[in-house]
A and B are shown apart, each in its own frame.
Chain A
Amino acid sequence: MKTVAEFAIGREQLLDASGAPTGPLPAFAGDPEQLLAMYRMMVLCRLFDTKAVNLQRTGKLGTYAPCTGHEATHVGVAAAMRAEDVAVPVYREYGTLLWRGVTMTEILTYWAGDERGNDFAASREDFPWCVPIGSQSPHAAGIAMAFKVRGQPRCAVCYIGDGGTSQGAFHEAVNLAGAQCLPVVYVIVNNGWAISVPAREQTAAQTFAQKGLGNGVPGVQVDGNDVLGVRKVMEEALARARAGDGPTVVEAVTYRLSDHTTADDASRYRPAGELEAAWKLEPLLRTRAFLEARGLWDETRETQLRAECATRIEAAVRGYQGRAPAGTDAMFDHLYANPPAALEQQKAIARRFGGGEPH
């Protein structure tokens, strides 16, 4: 039998776990401002995440999906995107959306149970958080299709988890993207776990990057704890997409250093020792070591940055906690541009009974 098609999956890594470059670095790594901006955002994310979990533990936030461990992936992706591109997140990619102008107050407003948190004031075209797993995938393909129809040099970037790739919607979307050569990049964040199911039980595939291959879409794997590697791979994928050369599936291999959400307890299913081992590979340490080796960072700057972050986070907390409740009309007012007459009757009932009984 002769071979009629062949495939390969490459893996990119620019920084090892100690922060040492594995080889020559891309041009952006020569710009201290860009390096520092990425590191600062990663630290902000870590501190914001810690605060958000604490807010949930003290009853001031609903169920929250933490991002600790994912900072390099989320920030590396965002740094490679242009402002006019569109992000289609899952529900924990704070590093990406904060980079793009979404505010911490908006994120906290959302997790406090209020849809106003999805009304991003800055990045107006980015999609809101997506809870039904994988269902965001076709939205990104559709956004990319709109860019193609209008001839705009813009790209969509769609996140999905390792578990999410088991959904049909993901494969349908990647298939369309390939068939129509759409300007979209699918970023599979392989953090090892889909709630309690480990990635190795999710699929027989050796990599998640190869999930695009069956649909004719090239895939590449990157160390998701290496912000430089993620950014490089994303810059290449976005350049390809923008040039009209079609989609890419990127697998960022990282680790969920938290529970799935604050409603989860990973100690029920995660093997002893795995978490400790993963902490040795986490992204902030290696990025800081890399910056320090280049003389761009030190303990004083770290202390100063953390203090600045704490101040910003406290302001964001005050922002969402100080927000007046939306009022019962809000439940009705955004369903339609031209609301049906009968809704007015129900709106009046809701007004009369107000916020309901305490529970």
Chain B
Amino acid sequence: MPRVTLVEGINLALARALADDPDVVVIGEDVGLNGGVFRATVGLQQRFGKLRVQDTPLAEGLIAGMSIGMASQGLKVVAEIQFMGFLYPALDQIANHMARLRNRTRGRLTCPVVIRMPHGGGIHAPEHHSESLEVLLCHHAGLRVVCPGTPAAAYGLLLAAIREPDPVLFLEPTRLYRLAKQDILDDGVALPLDRAQLLQQGDDVTLVSWGAMLHETRQAAERLAQEKIGCELIDLTSLSPIDWDCILESVAHTGRLVIVHEAARTAGLGAEIAATVAERALHDLLAPVQRVTGYDTVMPYFAMERTYIPGVARIVEAVRNSMKG
């Protein structure tokens, strides 16, 4: 059983998918000989050839657009956008065509595409390399948005995404790429999509987070445990659709909810979660829902990125406030 990082888990899943299914094609900028700027595709072109692991021209809109044409012919395209900040040129294709092709042809043409991209900051990267733009994707019907939090989740969910007959946007937490290792079985078994993961049980407060923020959220839960505050920790994992049953069940148990995300606060995914819990479980709540999020600022250049990204202390304070409610 290999002990791998999250980015190595992605590489294993891609290799497995390419080996198992001749229709799988990997495309993107520098994904070939270079193996991708984070090395997620390292070794794949050497093993599977230049037609199945393709370097594309440097144009994100093209990468998304050509994926649609390829997928309409039955190929299963796994495209890489090098950083989430470069998603914007691809959004036209994703929103206008990839998300809609099945619907507007009444199922005649479909888009089995996975678009992988690094998500979030914290790695001292240049400007535009540290964005958390999940809500831009979650707003569109026809897409799924997944954000794995562990090497095993990255492996199993990427396989599931590639096998899904519709587009999946696969957000890879940049900060977690090499943070931790985990034993995973490279057995080709996919994990179910559309599900959140209950990472830790607790009685006092539900913490919902995803991606790299799970790291700080977990640390906050450990600190709060020393204060005898029991945190139930949910890795949302599926950002669209959201696994409401998992959240509502936990809130029914704890009566308190704190949502932690790196993306900006206003109209962030936390707002959607808070609103739905208010609609469906207001009477379960013992305290107002708290959100711990990035600020409504531009994601700063790296000198200030740790000011922007919610830290453990902010999460701990929000939970303590929730306990007072």
Interface membership of A115, Cβ < 8 A = yes
Verify if A143 is at the interface (C-beta below 8 Å from B). Answer: yes
Partner of A334, one of B65, B66, B73, B107: B107
Asked if A176 and B57 sit within 8 Å, CB to CB, the answer is yes
The interface stretch among A127-135, A197-205, A219-227 is A127-135
Interface flag for A146 (CB, 8 Å): yes
Chain A residues lying within 8 Å of B106, measured Cβ to Cβ, are 115-116, 118-119, 330, 334
For A119, the closest partner residue in chain B by CB is B106
Residues of A within 8 Å of B36, CB to CB, are: none
A135-B93, A176-B62 known; A115+B102 contact, CB < 8 A = no
Query: Which A-chain residue is minimally distant from B95 (CB atoms)?
Result: A132
Q: Given the complex of chains A and B, what is the CA–CA distance between A343 and B143 in angstroms?
A: 13
Residues on A with beta carbons closer than 8 Å to the beta carbon of B104: 115, 118, 128
Chain A residues within an 8 Å CB radius of B96: 132, 135
A13 contacts the other chain (Cβ, under 8 Å)? no
- Tell me if A97 is interfacial: C-beta within 8 Å of chain B: no
Q: Which residues of B contact A335 (CB under 8 A)?
A: 102-103, 141-142
Q: Decide if B103 touches A139 in the complex (CB within 8 Å).
A: no
Query: Which A residue sits closest to B110, measured CB to CB?
Result: A337
Determine which of A88, A139, A168, A341 lies in contact with B241 in the assembled complex, contact meaning CB atoms within 8 Å: A341
A265 to chain B, nearest CB (A): 27
- The answer to whether B25 and A149 touch across the interface, beta carbons within 8 angstroms, is yes
Collect the chain A residues with CB atoms within 8 Å of residue B103's CB: 115, 334-335
Q: How far apart sit A138 and B101, CA to CA, in the bound complex (Å)?
A: 14
**Which A residues lie within 8 Å of B109 (CB)?**
125, 127-128
Known A-B contacts A146-B75, A149-B25, A338-B166; A173 and B108 likewise in contact (beta carbons under 8 Å): no
The smallest beta-carbon distance between B145 and chain A, in angstroms, is: 11
Residues of A within 8 A of B101 (CB): 128
In the complex, are the beta carbons of B102 and A334 less than 8 A apart?
yes
Q: How far is A115 from B109 in the complex, measured between Cα atoms in Å?
A: 13
Give CA–CA (A229, B108) in the complex, Å. 34
Binary interface encoding of chain B residues 38-72 relative to chain A, with 1 for a CB under 8 A from any of its CBs, else 0: 00000000000001100011010110111111111
Asked, given contacts A115-B105, A119-B108, A341-B241, whether A141 binds B66 with beta carbons under 8 Å apart, the answer is yes
Complex-state Cα separation, A135 to B106, whole angstroms: 20
Q: A118-B106, A173-B66 are in contact. Are A148 and B51 (CB under 8 A)?
A: yes
Q: Please determine whether B93 and A138 come into contact, CB atoms closer than 8 angstroms.
A: yes
CA gap between A176 and B64 in the complex, in Å: 13
B164 contacts the other chain (CB 8 A): yes
B68: A residues at CB distance < 8 A: 138-139, 142
B97 in the interface (beta carbon within 8 A): yes
Q: How far is the CA of A338 from the CA of B102 in the complex (A)?
A: 12
Given A138-B65, A335-B141, A337-B165, A124–B108 Cβ distance below 8 Å?
yes
Q: A252 contacts which chain B residues (CB < 8 A)?
A: none
Could you tell me the distance in whole angstroms from the C-beta of A93 to the nearest C-beta in chain B?
Answer: 17
**With A119-B108, A138-B66 known to touch, is A149 a contact of B52 (CB < 8 Å)?**
yes
Nearest B residue (CB) for A337: B165
Query: Chain B residue with minimal CB distance to A182?
Result: B66
A336 to B75, CA, bound (A): 17
Do B165 and A342 touch (CB < 8 A)?
no
Q: Does A120 contact B (CB under 8 A)?
A: yes
B107 with A139: CB separation less than 8 A: no
Say whether B56 contacts A176, CB under 8 Å.
Answer: yes
Let me know if B7 is at the binding interface, CB within 8 A.
no
Chain A positions 90-115 with a Cβ under 8 Å from a chain B Cβ = 115
- B47 CB, nearest partner CB in chain A, Å: 16
Contact A139 B73, CB 8 Å, known A115-B105, A337-B166: no
User: When A173-B62, A337-B102 are in contact, do A139 and B69 touch as well, CB less than 8 Å?
Assistant: yes
A169 on the B face (CB < 8 A)? yes
| Across-interface contacts of B244 in A (CB, < 8 A) | 342
Chain B 137-186 interface residues, beta-carbon cutoff 8 Å to A: 141-142, 144, 164-166
A202 to chain B minimum Cβ distance, whole angstroms, is 20
Q: What would be 24 A-B contacts, judged by CB atoms less than 8 Å apart?
A: A115-B103, A118-B104, A118-B106, A119-B106, A125-B72, A127-B72, A139-B69, A139-B97, A140-B69, A142-B65, A143-B69, A143-B70, A144-B69, A145-B66, A146-B72, A146-B75, A147-B73, A156-B69, A169-B92, A173-B65, A175-B59, A176-B57, A335-B142, A342-B244
Shortest 8 CB-CB contacts between residues of A and residues of B: A142-B69, A138-B65, A340-B241, A146-B73, A142-B66, A172-B62, A139-B69, A119-B106
